[in-house]
Structure 1
């Protein structure tokens, strides 16, 4: 079943926009707040730039952040796979000391030095 597109009215840098998508109003409010805050920071840092140039800088920063997060996700997924392999390896080499496998219940499975 296809999700229904929602219409969301947003005010970004003093201009009204209608955003159409499937994200919640809560999500889009958060996005709009971040965009407005970043635009305000860029305005203070670069008063000589117009809003279009600031928007392009924000887009470049957003894509850069996205690529970094995607790389982090890939690295974490690889680490998870390595840890799973280590766990499976240790489980397959670990002796099974269940009661039925022990011929003498008083026997210690290892010795201390």
Structure 2
């Protein structure tokens, strides 16, 4: 059964975006809060345009995602190994 998609309006910086997805409203509010917080921190670090700050935020996010995926992969391999030892 496919997940029902909903529309969410979120404010990032001074712009409103409509997001379509299966996430909950609480999740999208949390995403909006995290993005705004990180965007504010990046812009405060220097005299950056919103475009440059957004690009740096995207790079930071992709880097974190890759690190987390590596952790998930390592834990999945470890779990597979432990399961085979138990059997």
Task: Look up the match of 2:70.
Answer: 71
More helix by share: 2
When Rg is computed on C-alpha atoms for both structures, the one with the higher figure is: 1
The alpha-carbon deviation at position 30 of structure 1 amounts to: 0.3
5+ unaligned residues in a row in structure 2: which ranges? none
Instruction: Figure out how many residues of one structure are paired with residues of the other and give that number.
Output: 87
Take 2:17 and 2:86, find their aligned partners in 1: how far apart are those partners?
Answer: 51
5+ unaligned residues in a row in structure 1: which ranges? 89-113
Written as runs of structure 1 = structure 2, the 5 A alignment for 1:82-97 is 82-88=81-87
The alpha-carbon deviation at position 37 of structure 1 amounts to: 0.2
The alpha-carbon deviation at position 12 of structure 1 amounts to: 0.7
The alpha-carbon deviation at position 2 of structure 1 amounts to: 3.2
Written as runs of structure 1 = structure 2, the 5 A alignment for 1:28-107 is 28-46=28-46, 48-88=47-87
Greater relative contact order (Cα < 8 A, sep 6+)? 2
Bigger drift between 31-40 and 75-84 goes to: 75-84
The alpha-carbon deviation at position 85 of structure 1 amounts to: 2.0
Question: With structure 2 as the length reference, what TM-score do the two structures score?
Answer: 0.91
Task: Look up the match of 1:111.
Answer: none
Compared CA separation, residues 81 and 2, structure 1 to 2 (3 A): closer
Question: With structure 1 as the length reference, what TM-score do the two structures score?
Answer: 0.72
